[in-house]
Structure 1
């Protein structure tokens, strides 16, 4: 197709141009042609770009950035050249500074020797040699100034000041030859002015330097140079004023102390520019030099009689001054070396900047060619598809794999269809391969996470099972052990096993297990806190505040206890062992409860505290950084599970406070859990009336973590009027057949003929028969099992004693039945009114006969010999006497309250002996015992 045809087709087929023509017709141009201005603008862009190659288009696109890069590169190269020139000037000034330092030393020696010659005849010959050395050093110094005379206005002013003072040098020497004016009246200050002018050359080099290291070294050189000048002035003035064998004059003391203090200040400034290693080395050298003049300086400072001569002082002061001059020379050499390095670096930078500019230009041209080859239509479509895949499709697919598991990775397909076999098609296939590989990696990662979670869960479950079995064995050992030391050791092992179980549960939390153990009943807040404390290594340091009587719902008991254990463990680990960790509670507005764990440690920085609070609020995925704070990650997981808010705050008196805000839906009143308890009967004390119970129901108790808080023990039931009549004997038939059966067989039937005392009968319960129940397991198990063993041992001992009684002993009394309704019980089956029973007369006690003696000469005890007649009815008379109604049996709740008191006593005993180890009711091994 020809150019004209293509142009005409573009004019008629371009939608934008068609809309422009339509607008023109609407505005009064009936021909529909575009305006000349519009047509001209379109043709220019069409001419410049439409028929140009891709390379030309890219060149037009990058020409402006290329020119900008060239300009910036030139500016950068110019700055590098300027820096190199300045560094070269500093290098030259540093070299001049070394020559100036040598001249300063010669001027100082000439001045000090002149002072010695005025007080000692032996110093006159040394003056001429000192002046010759000064002239030689001055000639070298003036020659070194020629390269730096044009270095700047500051340098030119310093050189002019030196030249003025050099012209006055001959006048200074003539005044010293005539000793007029006196040395301390102006002779010393004349040489000092010349020395200060020379030192100005050293200082001026620091104003032109741009390198911080070089500037610091020049400042240090200036400080040590001033210290050397002060030490030289001290040597000359002390030499001039010193009078051996006489007390120090006030002028000498003032001058010497002033100059020595100035030197100390300047040396401290000098040392401040060096690191610790260099400072120690230089300080040691200076201290050793000070010892050379310590004797004379001490005498001068105290105003004592001087023991050294002029020459002795001059020699000692010269040795000290030589040490300071060595340090000054080392500092000057360091300045020269650093200035040379800075100059070389600046020159290298300038060269590299030029090379970099050229490289950027060449690279730009090269990239222009490369990019031109890739700008085609299919590439744009490929880019769009790739962006869609990278930003939306691939993340969504990876998230699906994370949720559904590795099986979802097998559903992957090609995301972009190749358009051909050229380079763009190859890129498309490569992108598809990358996409497939990413999906495969995501699936492998999901499978790996799933396998790791499974392994962690299995190992944690096995650890839990072993720990639970170990706790069961330990509990048995604790019950059988009587040695306090061994028992304390068992308690510590029990406590460590409990901590191991907590760590295993933390691994289950990391593996995503929702329910570690099943808790079937609510528990008081205090018991939950005690459970958490029991799983902490340093539990004796934990102090409780006042805890509410509210209950924690069953589903959150173990998780809240685990959270608190982790927080308390952190508090004890990051605070001093001698400080307490306090656990307090506070009700929240609108319901709920806040439990605070406060330590007295060093606290946490604000930025780190904010990061930890962010991690507690947003769980996220576990990584290496999270594994270092595993406890907080577990707390975050558990708090997110139950909607609990956990936050770390700085303590008011130091340390850190962990606040656990438990929502209202996890806390309820203990009255709610007692709503199913029936009200007490009329005329009965509700505090002393046991709850109803039937023999067919097993005994019940509320499970709770650690030490179970049972209701207070129920007292014996009071009747309307206290009965003074002793209980009558019951028939053996009633005591065998009508007692409640707790374990599926008549527990008391085998002991119906045992002659136990009535008080034993009044507290006896089915749980003391030695049987256990799988429905009741708590940390108080050890206490009530031990009580059952004691009572069973008492029964066996009583049975053994009865088998040894003589045949002529008193007839055995039938067993009586006693319940928790009172201390005096009525015979079973009695139908007499209560008023008749309570007002029955009581016979007086007859005279007790002398006891019979056995073959060994010991008295033979007769059961019932001392009882009041009528207190126990005769079985033979039971047929003629109307039987009383059977007393109510003891309720399960009453017995549960009694055992709760026993449990609390056992817990207090463990706390007092330092071996209290709380157990959870949900321990499977404990529930089986």
Structure 2
């Protein structure tokens, strides 16, 4: 049986197969019994259509054979006797042939009976040849008896085929009657043989007569043994009669070689044959009369047995169907409850627990119901499922509590790290303001950058544990500034190139998350690409928002990895602390899902990886370009200053160069020429938005880490470009 079949199908099969077998056995027994019983009703058709004509044929054949024997012996008194006997035989044969061809007779006969009947008719067709030899007197007495005996033997063989009774007693009675008729035929052969030899039989005829007599003597008692008292009475009366005894004595003397008185023999043999023929016909009528009531009784018993069997089978089918249906319904209800538990209840409980909701275990996992009075085994199975679901819900609750505890612990540790790193950044800022030595200042810048990266990693831990960044900006911040701030948080920020892009911004409440998202992608690009290759960051407006492309020229990833990462970014699963690989992508997916940002990775034209970030149009706002033009006069070094468009925004770096000897300020006053690196003064050249705190609750003089990092990055980049320009110009001008 296929394993994928339903329970209902298997139970139905389990019940149907025995029922089908039972029905089949009942049908076979009923058909066999009824068939045999109905065959008894065919006895009348067989008797009138076959037995009566064939019996008449046998009797007439015996008469014709005796007349033919008289012709051979030359003692025939009546010349027309043979012709009359032959006409009677022909009439009997014609009647038999007509009845054999009728539809009623053929429908009552079995194929074996029909074949034997055809054999009898073929034997009858040989009569013209036999008669011709009789007329030519070429037969010996023995040949005459033998030729006619072949037809009689075939008819008696047909009688044995016609036994249709299923009653053993009736069958034995029929066999006894057939044997008695064969005795009559044997006696007729002996009579014809004696008449044909005219009492002077040769040695060959004597031997034949002795054989026939021995067979008749043996067969007659056997025939009587198969008949009951009523049917046996006329045969016993004849068997023990003086006539029969005298006939036996005459035959014994004739076989022993004594002469036979033919006239005495004829008188006794004719009388014995007549009585024997009457006994056979009378017994046959009685046996036929017995068969019809017996057949009726058998049919009645068969019908009653069939009806009782049918009722029993019907009752078994009904009970089996009801039991099978009830069991199937109970198992189906149990299956539905188990599926609901596995696919609906437990997932809902887990979802509620992950969302921090309170779960009522009794309401969320009620007992499984499989009916009012279920089967004991099904009830036990339902109870086992109840225990399983209670244990599963308890485990889910405990797991949620444990997970929430771990997340809370991680958030607390991360918050503490953030606080310490914030204090460390403040301390570094103070040290930078108090330091004038370039080398020391450069080390402080590096330490400041490392601290900023540490703060980003701590912020990532907060995000993974279910918290938020905690930093907020007021107003709209340019996307280019957000990307520059993200690039400043990367270890190899010097390799990152942010290309110019449209003047658009994002609201301050999304700046921290987007900056962290871009920082993770930029750092991933820088980490998996060659140190001498740049990481390109480009952005432009598209139909559905603002698209940012972060491209590296590293080794890239294979197709399977691309599919796995993109699937994770498109539908980020709940963070599993056991999965420590690609934590950056976990943070990116979480932040992207929070702001409906689409992140996709693909192969770049350079063989590396391109990350495409689509910021939805709801988070993108156009910004007005700067309105105050700047008077740029070439000088000998490159410096970095900032330009602002409003409060609460990140700095934008603008590289400017001025030539040489002397410059004038906005009032037309000369600016003294300086040599070497520019001297840094606190708050000099900073835009108004960086002089303000990023959060509404912070003091005005406290700088956010992003602002300090942007300032330091700007100064360091300016120094590096100044050195490059100085080297190209052959040194700074005095």
- Which TM-score applies when normalising by structure 2? 0.44
TM-score by length of 1: 0.35
Greater Rg over alpha carbons, structure: 2
